[in-house]
Amino acid sequence: MAAGDPTGDDLCVGTTDGNTLPETPTWTNREISLGAGVALVSGTQYAIVVRSATSEVEWVTVAGDNYANGSSYLSDDAGDSWSIDTGYDNWFQTYAGLALRDQYGPGDYSVYNTVDGSDWVAQTFTATSSYTITKVKLRLSRWPASTPGTITVSIKAVEGVPGPQKVTTPSPVDTYSKMTLDWQQFTWVADGDAPEEEVYNIYWGTTSGDLSLIALEVGDAAVAAVYLSAVVGAGIYGRTYYWRVDTYWPSTEETATGDEWSFTTISFDHPAVSYILLGGGSGSGPYDTPPGVEGTDFRYTGENNMITVKRLVAVANNKFWYEDV
């Protein structure tokens, strides 16, 4: 089930006589009363659903500048399931009394969707204000010589996934403090009900809240991770970095902005100095406080700004450690 599927209950219903529609390719803007209507909530998505028991009714669609606040949907099983009609939206206007509230339909309308029997057509829209919808206008026609009879139009609640969901569960975990520059395991968990078309926009930066886009509409999470690995590999140790994954649905042009995550690459302390005390100082072992320094918890701290040569990490106590390939 895709986002915005018009599978909810009818909230209000209206009818019109399909036999009085002009024959295709002549069209009319047919006004359809919805009775007392229903109160819509601002920012909530609804659907206008059209069905005809017999014969073909044509609902004009508009190609090109797709309606940003909804989508056209098609069903071939009388509304039990729906698919997005990618690339088109259906011509519609909604009214509260005499006032026009929401609409879509400028531009070329040389194509149409067919309503016939179990083939239903719907157009979702997002209410731009809270109002009681009392009628709609749809640009309709009928197939030549057909007699569609009563056409039913309803406003439905939209159910299903409300839209793109933020990805979760990042790897490395947020604020991870032991990052190395050869990290190759960037992952996240996406919404399991998302459509196959879901893609990701990847952001990256050194300043929280000021991230740059490094990958646009990447469809495979593993491929997207490659971009992150590349910028990490070009980074330096002892630095905090920030990243974000936005989820995008091309068909509905909706984006779910992800949370900002961070990690810090490891830093190198100054090599510790070992003292074998001949006199003075404290303690009795070879790594105790040197002479003239008080306290027993003495250590050298701070970054040494070492530059990694090949994969060298650190050298101490006649041993060296390096990152494995």
Map the chain to HEC letters: CCCCCCCCCEEEEEEEEHHHCCECCCCEEEEEEEEEEEEECCCCEEEEEEEECCCCEEEEEEECCCCCCCCEEEECCCCCCCEECCCEEECEEEEECCEEEEEECCCCCCEEEEEECCEEEEEEEECCCCEEEEEEEEEEEECCCCCCCEEEEEEEECCCCCCCCCCEEEECCCCEEEECCCCCCCEEECCCCCCCCCEEEEEEECCCCCCEEEEEEECCHHHHHHHHHHHHHCCCCCCEEEEEEEEEECCCCEEECCCCEEEEECCCECCCCCECCCCCCCCCCCECCCCCCCCCCCCCCCECCCCCCCCEEEEECCEEEECCC
Q: Tell me if 26 sits within 8 A of 142, measured CB to CB.
A: no
pLDDT digit string, tens, across residues 91-121: 999 999 999 999 998 655 567 888 888 899 9
Is the model's pLDDT at 284 over the cut of 80? no
Question: 144 or 301, which is more confident?
Answer: 144
Mean predicted confidence (pLDDT) in 45-68: 85
The closest of 265, 276, 278 to 238, measured between CA atoms, is 265
Residue that terminates a domain, selected from 100, 127, 157: 157
Q: Tell me if 139 sits within 8 A of 60, measured CB to CB.
A: yes
- Angle made by CA atoms 301, 302, 308, in degrees to the nearest 5: 115
Percent of the chain residues past pLDDT 70, beyond the cut: 76
Mean predicted confidence (pLDDT) in 248-272: 80
The answer to whether residue 310 sits within a structural domain is: no
Q: Is residue 126 located within the same domain as residue 175?
A: no
The answer to whether residue 258 sits within a structural domain is: yes
Q: Tell me if 53 sits within 8 A of 63, measured CB to CB.
A: no
One-letter identity of residue 211? L
- Average pLDDT of the chain to the nearest whole number: 81
- Match 């139009």 to its residue by tokens: 153
Q: Is residue 85 located within the same domain as residue 118?
A: yes
Question: 305 or 149, which is more confident?
Answer: 149
Mean predicted confidence (pLDDT) in 260-277: 69
Q: Is residue 14 located within the same domain as residue 93?
A: yes
pLDDT digit string, tens, across residues 130-186: 999 999 999 999 989 888 899 999 999 886 555 788 899 999 999 999 898 888 889
CATH code for the domain in which residue 245 is found:
2.60.40
What pLDDT is attached to residue 268?
A: 64
CATH code for the domain in which residue 117 is found:
2.60.120
Query: Residue 140 is part of which domain span?
Result: 10-157
What pLDDT is attached to residue 299?
A: 44
Residue that terminates a domain, selected from 220, 238, 265: 265
pLDDT digit string, tens, across residues 230-241: 888 888 888 999
Please report the sign of the dihedral spanned by the C-alpha atoms of residue 85, residue 1, residue 95, residue 15. Answer: positive
What pLDDT is attached to residue 1?
A: 40
The answer to whether residue 178 sits within a structural domain is: yes
Task: Give the model's confidence band at 206: pLDDT under 50 very low, under 70 low, under 90 confident, else very high.
Answer: very high
Q: Is residue 38 located within the same domain as residue 141?
A: yes
Residue 167: phi and psi, rounded to 5, are -75, 155
Q: How far, rounded to the nearest angstrom, does the alpha carbon of residue 38 sit from its chain's CA centroid? A: 30
Question: 203 or 87, which is more confident?
Answer: 203
Q: Is residue 96 located within the same domain as residue 183?
A: no
Token output for 5: 């599927």
- Match 């072992």 to its residue by tokens: 285
Total tally of structural domains belonging to the chain: 2
Is the model's pLDDT at 63 over the cut of 80? no
Residue that terminates a domain, selected from 157, 182, 206: 157
The answer to whether residue 105 sits within a structural domain is: yes
One-letter identity of residue 250? P
Is the model's pLDDT at 271 over the cut of 60? no
Q: Is residue 211 located within the same domain as residue 151?
A: no
Answer yes or no: pTM beyond 0.95: no
The answer to whether residue 125 sits within a structural domain is: yes
The answer to whether residue 229 sits within a structural domain is: yes
